[in-house]
Amino acid sequence: MIHPCQKCGACCAYFRVSFHWSETLPESFSVPIALTETISPHTLAMRGTNQPEPYCQALVGVVGENIKCDIYENRPEPCRTFLPSFEDGFQNDRCDQARLNKGLVALSLSDWV
């Protein structure tokens, strides 16, 4: 079964992904500094997500079709903790909001069977 996120990517093209600068350190997640931009002295964002129409520069493919994160193993904490709707049995309104914005239907429990 293909994980629903591999056919989506809406959250990566809808929300700003901001995190503490320390996540770029090797002892943390090693988020590539070249893919970030400074938001404040202690906060970075994934490049491309701090725009009126966000689109993470680590995103490869077509939203809603075939998509992947080019730095999946080194993605920041907000990406690691963002759960798609019903993956854990609970609806995530933010996932639904991003999907609907990109013309996709919200996930349901049946997407995980």
Taking only the tens place, the pLDDT of each residue in 43-93 is: 999 999 999 999 999 999 999 999 999 999 999 999 999 999 999 999 999
Contact 91, 61 (CB under 8 A): no
- Examine residue 111 and state whether it is found in any structural domain, yes or no: no
pTM: 0.94
Number of folded domains in the chain?
Answer: 1
Output the pLDDT for position 47.
98
Contact 113, 86 (CB under 8 A): no
Contact 84, 92 (CB under 8 A): yes
Q: Name the band, by pLDDT with cuts 50, 70 and 90, for residue 1.
A: confident
Calculate the average pLDDT of the chain: 97
- Examine residue 30 and state whether it is found in any structural domain, yes or no: yes
Q: How far apart are CA 24 and CA 36, in angstroms?
A: 9
- Examine residue 112 and state whether it is found in any structural domain, yes or no: no
Instruction: Tell me what the mean pLDDT of segment 34-39 comes to.
Output: 98
Q: How far apart are CA 7 and CA 16, in angstroms?
A: 20
- Which residues form the domain of 44? 4-106
